[in-house]
Amino acid sequence: MTEIKEYSFKGIRFKAYNNLDKDLEIMQGYFGKYNFKKADIIIDCGAYVGCFTIIASKLVGSHGKVIALEPDATSYRKLLANIELNKLTNVSAINKGVFDIVGKKKFFARTSRGSSFIFTNDHLPSKDVNVITIDSLSKELKLDKLDFVKMDVEGAELFVLRGSKQTLKKLKPNFAIGTYHIINGRTTDKDVELFFENFDYETETGFLEHRVTYATPKRKL
């Protein structure tokens, strides 16, 4: 983690210790629909080394906040380093995973990228890591608003959503969810879209290069 590279994304300039060229291609999908505003509150589930976190931090400004969650120890260290490198003061990094329970969950490490609670492999090292829910996080932080949630959780999409039902009802955040992961032979977008039908949301799946499902609260007429 010695080389520092400079990047530009949607007019945002930043630095990173890692080569984030591939990550920036993926970011096009997560920034594809929602119009980020100053003072927005954002949760980044599966922050990895911080590409989304850094960009979102700069977009929401000093009165906004990004809560970045990353369970993988290696990625978390790099996330902290990139936050420090960019002198971000509006980011809270949390070394926990997001699921539908609060406690411990077995975690399978794939050299940090692609580490997962869902995709198991007997040849991969695993360990129990701390997990929380979006509902418990919202309660702990006493959030009275939540504008946007980005999720890239390696197949755990529905579990995370099940742990966010109270937040969905109360705060109605916008979502961009990576649904390119394959569970039971198919990508998760249809199941994610079906989940949101019970919460008065509109959904759309796009950015098929790295499939993303967008969920937006329906407007009151």
Pairing of strands 174-178, 148-151: parallel
Break the chain into its structural domains and give their ranges. Answer: 41-217
At 34 the pLDDT is 97
Adjacency order of strands within the sheet including 91-94: 91-94, 65-69, 41-45, 148-151, 174-178, 212-217, 201-206
C-alpha distance from residue 214 to each of 62, 74, 130, 177, 203 (Å): 26, 29, 27, 6, 5
At 124 the pLDDT is 64
Cα 137 to Cα 156: distance, rounded to the nearest angstrom = 17
Cα 111 to Cα 101: distance, rounded to the nearest angstrom = 25
At 184 the pLDDT is 85
Cα 154 to Cα 113: distance, rounded to the nearest angstrom = 10
At 150 the pLDDT is 98
CATH of span 41-217: 3.40.50.150
Which residues have a Cβ under 8 Å from the Cβ of 214 and sit 6 or more positions away?
32, 33, 34, 174, 175, 176, 177, 203, 204, 205, 206
At 118 the pLDDT is 52
At 8 the pLDDT is 96
Q: What string of pLDDT tens digits covers the 221 residues of the chain?
A: 568 999 999 899 999 998 899 999 999 999 999 999 999 999 999 999 999 999 999 999 999 999 999 999 889 999 999 999 999 999 999 999 999 999 998 887 655 555 555 555 556 677 888 999 999 999 999 999 999 999 999 889 999 999 999 999 999 999 999 999 888 889 999 999 999 999 999 999 999 999 999 999 997 65
Cα 55 to Cα 109: distance, rounded to the nearest angstrom = 26
At 111 the pLDDT is 55
